[in-house]
Amino acid sequence: MSLEFMITTIEGFEDVAAQEIKDVGGRSIEVKTARVFFRGEANLMYRVNIRSRCVHRLMLVLGRGQALGLNDIYRFAKSINYFEVMKLDQSFAVRTTRVGEHDYTSIDASAMVGQAIVDSFKEVKGVRPRVDLKNPDVEVDVYVKDSEVVIGVNTTGESLHKRNYRVYDHPAALKTTLAACMLRFSGWKGEGLLDPMCGGGTIVIEAALMARRFPPGFFRKSMAFTKLPLYDPKVHREEVEKALEEANRDHFEIYGFDISPKHIKGALSNASSAGVDDTIQFAVRDCTRKETYSDLSTKFVIVNPPYGIRHGRPKAIKDLYTNFLKAISQNLSGTILTAIVGCPKIFETALESVNLKVLDSRSVKHGNLPARVYKIRVS
Ramachandran class of 367: left when φ > 0, alpha when ψ lies in -120 to 50, beta otherwise: left
Pairwise CA distance, residues 306 & 339, whole Å:
11
> Are the C-beta atoms of 50 and 140 separated by less than 8 Å?
no
Residue whose CB is less far from ligand SAM, 194 or 197: 197
Pairwise CA distance, residues 372 & 227, whole Å:
39
Pairwise CA distance, residues 11 & 14, whole Å:
6
Residue whose CB is less far from ligand SAM, 6 or 182: 182
Pairwise CA distance, residues 131 & 108, whole Å:
15
Which residue type is seen at 365?
K
CB of 335 to ligand SAM, least distance (A): 17
CB of 314 to ligand SAM, least distance (A): 15
CB of 356 to ligand SAM, least distance (A): 18
CB of 252 to ligand SAM, least distance (A): 18
Helices 261-274 + 202-211 axis angle, to 10: 30
Q: Does residue 313 sit in helix, strand or coil?
A: coil
What is the 3-state composition of the chain as percent helix, strand, coil, each rounded to the nearest 5?
A: 35, 25, 35
Residue whose CB is less far from ligand SAM, 74 or 255: 255
Residue whose CB is less far from ligand SAM, 265 or 357: 265
Pairwise CA distance, residues 189 & 194, whole Å:
13
Residue whose CB is less far from ligand SAM, 62 or 174: 174
CB of 29 to ligand SAM, least distance (A): 29
Residues in the chain: 379
**Strand pairing partners for 140?**
94, 153
Residue whose CB is less far from ligand SAM, 39 or 289: 289
Q: Which residue is nearest to ligand SAM (CB)?
A: 199
Question: How many Cα atoms are found within 13 Å in the side-chain-facing hemisphere of 184?
Answer: 20
CB of 372 to ligand SAM, least distance (A): 14
Residue whose CB is less far from ligand SAM, 73 or 209: 209
Residue whose CB is less far from ligand SAM, 56 or 98: 56
Residue whose CB is less far from ligand SAM, 67 or 203: 203
Compute the chain's Rg from CA coordinates: 23
The binding site for ligand SAM (CB under 6 A) comprises: 170, 172-174, 196-200, 202-203, 257-260, 263, 286-288, 304-306, 320
CB of 344 to ligand SAM, least distance (A): 15
Q: What are phi and psi of 125, to 5 degrees?
A: -105, -10
CB of 307 to ligand SAM, least distance (A): 7
CB of 203 to ligand SAM, least distance (A): 6
CA dihedral 354, 359, 363, 364 (to 10 degrees): -100
